[in-house]
Amino acid sequence: MWRDRQATRRPLLCLLAGVTLAIAACSSPEDEQVATTTTSIAPATTTTTLPPSTTPPEVSTEVTTTTTLVPATTFVDLEYERNESYYFTSPDGQFQCGIIKLPNRTEAGCQGETSPIPPQPEDCLISWGSGIRVDNTGPGAFMCAGGLLYTSGDPEPDPVLPPGSVLSQLGYTCATTEINVTCSNDETTHGFTIAANSNRTF
């Protein structure tokens, strides 16, 4: 019986082998290659479009300042002249000033309250420190005087020399600001500056 089964399988095996050889004979070498599919993926590209800038243009804050210097005004008219001397009041009304001609000299000075004042010298037996003057013999100096010297004597106060003005007469020049008066000898350049809360001699 076993031999009968073995005899039956042999023709079947031969038949399968023949089919396999037939398929192999019909196949081409190209059929034996494995199909390969290549997929290329392009890198993603992102395009970003920015809206136009809304930042306002830079505004220049530079400020141009023009400074106009006003030249001092020189007063030479007769408004300040009395008997060959010249008298005026300071702009703040604190000082009576003059450029005066005396029998033996000329001088310029201002009288009024100022501080500080130096110690009173021993040879001054009258009012001390009531003003400062300069003549042609040396630097400006505090006055020892018994009364008001730099006044025309008119009932009305002497005219004001406006701030920023210059009065130049008899070899002396006096100039004013809103708070002080400076007078000097044109030849020696000695003089003084006087104000209510400050002063100096030179």
- 92-137 pLDDT, tens digit per residue, is 999 999 999 999 999 999 999 999 999 999 999 999 999 999 999 9
Q: Is the pLDDT at 200 greater than 60, yes or no?
A: yes
The three-class DSSP label of residue 87 is: strand
Q: What is the pLDDT of residue 78?
A: 72
Q: What is the mean pLDDT of residues 172-191?
A: 98
pLDDT recorded at residue 91: 98
Give CA torsion, residues 150, 156, 157, 161, to 10 deg.
-100
Mean of all residue pLDDT scores within the chain: 77
List, for residues 5-50, the tens digit of each pLDDT value: 444 455 444 444 444 433 444 344 444 443 444 444 444 444 444 4
Amino acid at 134: V
Amino acid at 175: A
- What per-residue confidence (pLDDT) applies to 62? 46
DSSP state of 169: E
What gap in Å lies between CA 43 and CA 41, rounded to an integer? 6
pLDDT > 70 fraction of the chain, expressed in percent and rounded = 62
pLDDT of residue 15: 42
What is the token pair recorded at 200? 């100096």
pLDDT band at 151 (very low <50, low <70, confident <90, very high): very high
3-state secondary structure of 30: helix
16: left (phi over 0), alpha (psi -120 to 50) or beta: alpha
Beta bridge partners of 96: 89, 111
